[in-house]
Amino acid sequence: MATHTANEEPRTEESRISLWRRVRRYAVPASMIETATARRRAGDWAGACSAAHLDHEIDLRSLARTHGHDLATRVRADLRHLAPDLLRWHMPRAAPDGLLRPGTTIALACYDTDGPVTDLANPDRLLFHAPSGKFPNLCGIGAPHMRPARTPRRLAALTAALGGLLLALTSAPAATAGAPAAATPVEANGQLRVCGVELCNERGSAIQLRGMSSHGTQWYPHCLTDGSLDALAHDWNADVLRVSTYVQEGGYETDPRHFTDLAGRLIRQAGERGMYVIVDWHMLHPGDPHANLAAARTFFTEIARRNAGRNNILYEIANEPNGVSWSRIKSYAEQLIPVIRGVDPDAPVLIGTRAWSSLGVSEGADESEVVNNPVRASNIMYTFHFYADSHREEYLATLSRAADRIPVFVTEFGTQNYAGEGANDFAMSQRYLDLMAAKKISWVNWNFSDDHRSGAVFSTGTCNAQGPWAGTASLKPAGVWIRDRIRTPDRFPAV
């Protein structure tokens, strides 16, 4: 039976109007347009695709690794301008039902290093495809462009499957079968959860995350840019970014809206790069978390609401309680966790422990107080912090014992003394890393800034100069050491 396309003139004006009303009502409803537009304007291209029911498999991290940061940056910029709801609206459709036509491929953007594309056998192109055949050469005269661009000669394909649309990024010419792109940490593992004493991926397999913590975002926001986060994701190959929102010391309490917005931006930017994010409520002075309970309720409720549907978030609800009992910390956690769970029921919650998150060791206790009196909640982990030059055998032994009894996440550590300064003890630090690798204890290093202390990875002045971010030229010795260890291949279970 012959069919019309919705973009061709149907047999009657009435049938044309009926068809587009059907498309407007069911394929691109007003709610979809509103949500996708809001997310696009916020810079969240992945969220906009989700709102438009386009499931994306775009691996910018792998693209940067294999083809360079310039290409990944340009593709990301184009994706931020993509209006996926309008793309749904304007794709060719078949009458009378308005379904997408299979086998349709449309070039959205073409790239060339030397000017206009002339090599039709191997173009650089950004495609939208409803599969039923091979990718045709579409970058000739009259091919639609999203914007002019000059990139390495690589193919980037956006694929749309009939019905539930699919966006996919590949990195090989259409005529060449290449190796599958490496998945980002979030793509490889999905929604995390706690299983037993381990952190597990969505399939229930134990994993270890490795990454960096920001310094206080009130002091070093200029160290957290698109360029530096590109380097963290693609050059360092980090799995996780810890966003440290100080409560006092010029932080959240001085301007709640600003610091909530800043944390939200960093969550989005990390998510775009396929990294997990620890939302760190960085309470320190006063050491009793109850002092900031009301503010914590407000902050975490807002963060959870803004990021509903994301699967890359962990909530760290008390950085380093100190000068208070474990029962006091436990009481705080049991009041705050239900607030988060009311908005986000799935994300793991990380709970600070007594004595600057040392499991009590720095105040003469040990892990037994947590083991014998755990927080009454599920999908939680307890945090442990150490600084290798100060925290020696007793702390290492405590971490080892605790990891066998309770779920532990090392959300902060350094290779220096407890203040994050002084000489680096790389030998003791390596003993900790070896233990954490053996027991799949996830860890985050302090800190991704150019603070003058030896624990900040960048040389002073790097952030004001805006780089260079990648490589080792701008790194202090501690930065070179920790980058080398984060860059080693992840041992994520195969899908």
Q: What residues act catalytically?
A: 320, 412
Cα 155 to Cα 64, 68, 121, 232: the distances in Å are: 13, 13, 12, 24
Would you state the structure tokens that stand for residue 115, as one six-digit string?
A: 């000017």
CB atoms under 10 Å from CB of 26, counted, come to 10
The structure tokens listed for 212 are: 């960096």
Render the burial of 73-89: b for 16+ CB within 10 Å, e for the rest: bbbbebbeebbbbebbb
Q: Is residue 276 within 8 Å of 186, Cβ to Cβ?
A: yes
Q: Which pairing describes strands 313-316 and 276-282: parallel, antiparallel, or unpaired?
A: parallel
Tally Cβ neighbours within 10 Å of residue 138. 18
Contact 396, 462 (CB under 8 A): no
Spatial contact of 217 and 250, defined as CB atoms under 8 Å apart: no
Alpha-carbon distances, residue 144 vs 110, 269, 389 (angstroms): 8, 29, 59
Q: How far apart are CA 436 and CA 403, in angstroms?
A: 9
**Tokens standing for 285?**
């002075």
CA dist 277 and 483 (Å) reads 18
Beta carbons within 10 angstroms of residue 480's beta carbon: 12
One-letter amino acid identity for 312?
N
Q: Report the amino acid identity of residue 147.
A: R
Give the 3-state secondary structure of residue 101: coil
Distance of alpha carbon 79 from the chain centroid:
17
How many of the other CB atoms lie within 10 Å of CB of 332? 25
Whole-number Å distance between alpha carbons of 33 and 36: 5
Instruction: For residue 229, give the nearest of 246, 212, 208 by alpha carbon.
Output: 212
CA–CA gap between residue 173 and residue 154 (Å, rounded): 7
